[in-house]
Each structure stands twice: as structure tokens, then as C-alpha cells.
Amino acid sequence: MSGGSRSLAGRRVLVTGGARGIGAALARRLYQRGARVAVVGLEPELLADVSAACGDAPWSSCDVRSRAQVDAAVEMAVDRLGGLDVVVANAGVAAQLPLVGGDPDVFERTNAVNVLGTYYTLRAAAPHISHPSGYALVIASLAAAVHAPLLGAYSASKAAVEALGNTLRVELRPSGARAGVAYFAELDTDMTSRGFGTRAATALLHGSRLHRVASLEVGVAALERGIARRSRRIVAPGWVRPVLPLRMAVQPLLDRRFQRGLVDALRIAQAERPPLTTPQPDGQP
């Protein structure tokens, strides 16, 4: 396969967070386009369903907070697929967190999954995709670029994910491999419905036109194109693209917009304790 090929046929792809949402939908789409996929995640029954839909694709349970488990999952994928061409560091969680009066456990757990999990995944997979057809993709968010109240933990984690992707891109260049960063606004997934299904979020966003949920298909289609092209940047929906270079100008506008309803939202959030959007195992991995 040439380094510039846009065909997905035969590409060996590992997707983390593959049990549900973006990860599961992406694995199915890539398999339908001829890729050979492996999926890892936390929910064995859901992973088995994704595997069955992808031609009995290899899968394993993996808590991405554990470096040892991530190492084992990557080695499983490499062994079963006979190598690796693409890794998609997709596993992630979210929960609202007022920085003043919020639960610090939310910050710690969010960053353990989103930041350490992404780092461990890239660390383990990068040696295998360091070839002229290789590609690493990290799933960041529009929240990496512009920041809303109650999303401090999530925004901080996704800004770190963006930094990891950009750094890896430079470090991979001598091998011919590439790296990309995906930026999504809200897509119709469990993460979005659970993350914004709180009383505090309702108070903050009441009457707002800023919170528009796009279909999951929009995000998966963008990922399919971006992975085929080994793109530097993937965005969905399309309006996210111009926001990224304008982030410094957009942030003050959002700051002013969110003042309406903010006092009530913060008061509610300090008492509200919603779970992480994907349940995590108790204790240290």
C-alpha cells in the first residue's frame, strides 16, 4: 500500500473505546470498507457484539488507565492482525465539574482515562504504526479549543489530547507515519446524552442555540474520510473547522454568552453528582 493511498481495504486498525458510541460505529464502518479491525474497551458483551458485526474481529477488555492492560491489548491486536497500520485513541469519559465546589475525583478520573489512556495507547501502538503507511488518530473535541463552564475537567483533558496528537505528528515524521487530531462538537452518542442530561446543564443551556447535537453518522463519515487520507485534522460537523483558528476570538464571546443562567447552573452543579458518561471500574486499575 502506498503512503498516499486513500483505500481502507486491508488496513489493520485498532480502536479503543470500541464498545459503544463513536468507537463501535467507526469499527463497523471501517470493516465495511475492507479494513481489518480490532477493538478494546470496558464492556465485554458490547465488544463481542461489535466483534461479531466486524467478521469476528479480535477484541479484549481493557481499562486504558492501566499501562499494562493497554500494552497487552495492543500486543493482542498486533498478533491477531499481523501488524498495525492505524490506531484510533478514542476511549474517553466526561462529567460536569464546577471547578469551585466540585468533586476533585471527577477531575482525576476524567484525566486518567482521557489523558493517560491516550498517552498509554499512543506509547504502545506508535512503534507498530511507525512506517510509511502508518497513522495515529486521537479523538479530541471542540472543547480542546474553546471552553465552557462545568466542562473544566473535560476541556483540560481534551486540550492535553490535542497536544499529544500534535507532538506525535512531529515525532513520527522521520518514519513516514502521520498523526491526526479529531475535533467534534456534540454528536448523538451516549456521552452527549448523559453529559448534557443534568439539571445544571439544562439551567446553563436553557434557550441556547449553541448546543446543537449532530448525528453520529456525520462524525463517523468524517472519521472514515480522515483515516483513509491520514488527515492532520478531522472535524465534525463542518462548522467546527473555522472555529479552530479563531479560538482566541471566540472564547470571549462564549464567556459573555454563558453568563446568562450561570449562577443557577453553578449552584445546582455543586450539589449534583452525575456519574461519568461511561462507568469506570472502582479503584486503581
pLDDT, one tens digit per residue, over 29-85 is 999 999 999 999 999 999 999 999 999 999 999 999 999 999 999 999 999 999 999
Report DSSP state, residue 60.
Answer: E
For residues 20 and 26, the answer to whether their CB atoms sit within 8 Å is: no
pLDDT higher than 50, residue 142: yes
Residue 246: in which H helix or E strand, if any? none
Residues paired with 87 in a beta bridge: 14, 136
Q: Is 154 a catalytic residue?
A: yes
Quick one: pLDDT band at residue 118, thresholds 50, 70, 90? very high
Residue in the block written with cell 477531575: 107
CA distance 271 to 199: 10
What is the percent of the chain where pLDDT is above 90?
Answer: 74
How high is the pLDDT of residue 43? 95
CA distance 20 to 42: 10
How high is the pLDDT of residue 181? 98
Quick one: pLDDT band at residue 280, thresholds 50, 70, 90? confident
Q: Which residues of 59-77 are buried (b: 16+ CB within 10 A; e: fewer)?
A: bbebbbbbbebbbebbebb
Q: What is the mean pLDDT of residues 252-272?
A: 87
Q: What is the mean pLDDT of residues 218-234?
A: 97
pLDDT higher than 90, residue 195: no
Residue 233: in which H helix or E strand, if any? strand 233-236
How high is the pLDDT of residue 3? 39
How high is the pLDDT of residue 201? 76
First vs last C-alpha separation in the chain = 38
Residue 36 backbone phi and psi in degrees, to 5: -105, 120
Residues paired with 135 in a beta bridge: 86, 178
pLDDT tens figures, 240-251: 999 999 999 999
Spatial CB neighbours of 256, under 8 Å, sequence gap ≥ 6: none
Lowest-pLDDT range, 26-30, 97-101, 218-222, 279-283? 279-283
CA distance 114 to 136: 16
pLDDT higher than 80, residue 279: no
Catalytic residue among 119, 120, 154, 183: 154
